[in-house]
Amino acid sequence: MKKLKQIVLGLALLIGYTANAQQGINYKALIKDDLGNVVVNQNVRLQFTILAIFSNGSPVFQETHDPIMSDANGIIITNIGDGAQSLSYGAFDDIDWGSHKHYLRVGIDITGGTNFVNMTTTEFNAVPYAKHAEIATNVSGLEKISEVNPETGFSQTGWRLIGMSPANYGTIGQNAIDLSYSSNNEELRGATGREAIAMGYNVGAYGYRSTAIGNSSKARGDYSLAAGSRAQANGTSSTAMGSDTFATGTSSMAMGDNTFASGRISTAMGIKTTAQSYAEIAIGSYNTSYVPSNTTDWDVNDRLFVIGNGQSTATANNAVTVLKNGNFGVNTSNPESLFEIAHQNGRPTPTNSNSNGLSIRNLSNNESWQFYSHQDGYLELLRNKSHKGSFNPNTGVYATVSDRRTKKDITPLENGTLNKVMQLNPVSYIMKDQTDSKRNLGLISQEAQELFPSITHYIEESDLLTLSYTELIPVLIKAIQEQQTIIDSQKTKTESLENQLAKVFMRLETFEATNN
| pLDDT higher at 140 or 82 | 82
pLDDT for the residue 499:
92
pLDDT category at 296 given cuts 50, 70, 90 is very high
Q: Which of 135-149, 242-256, 262-276, 480-494 has the lowest mean pLDDT?
A: 135-149
Per-residue pLDDT at 133 exceeds 50: no
pTM for this structure?
A: 0.66
pLDDT for the residue 358:
80
**Across 390-394, average pLDDT:** 90
* Greatest mean pLDDT among 59-73, 79-93, 169-183, 270-284: 270-284
Cβ neighbours for 104, distance < 8 A, ≥ 6 positions apart: 11, 48, 49, 50, 51, 80, 121, 122, 123, 124
pLDDT for the residue 4:
44
Per-residue pLDDT at 278 exceeds 60: yes
**Half-sphere exposure of residue 275, counting CA atoms within 13 Å on the CB side?**
36
Per-residue pLDDT at 21 exceeds 60: no
Under 8 Å between Cβ of 26 and 12: yes
pLDDT for the residue 441:
96
Hey, is 245 helix, strand or coil?
coil
**Across 212-228, average pLDDT:** 98
- List the beta bridge partners of residue 338: none
Per-residue pLDDT at 7 exceeds 60: no
pLDDT for the residue 18:
28
> Which tens digits make up the pLDDT trace of 419-441?
999 999 999 999 999 999 999 99
pLDDT for the residue 128:
53
Under 8 Å between Cβ of 227 and 213: yes
**Across 229-251, average pLDDT:** 98
**Sequential DSSP letters for 24-67:** -EEEEEEEEETTS-B--S-EEEEEEEEEESSTTS-EEEEEEPPP
pLDDT category at 470 given cuts 50, 70, 90 is very high
**Across 187-201, average pLDDT:** 94
pLDDT for the residue 310:
97
Per-residue pLDDT at 169 exceeds 60: yes
Hey, is 93 helix, strand or coil?
helix
pLDDT for the residue 427:
96
pLDDT category at 126 given cuts 50, 70, 90 is low
Per-residue pLDDT at 1 exceeds 90: no
pLDDT for the residue 385:
86
pLDDT for the residue 353:
64
| pLDDT higher at 265 or 511 | 265
Nearest to 142 by CA among 115, 172, 105: 172
* Greatest mean pLDDT among 21-30, 90-99, 206-215: 206-215
Per-residue pLDDT at 149 exceeds 70: yes
Rounded-to-integer distance, Cα 82 and Cα 65, Å: 8
Nearest to 426 by CA among 414, 440, 412: 440
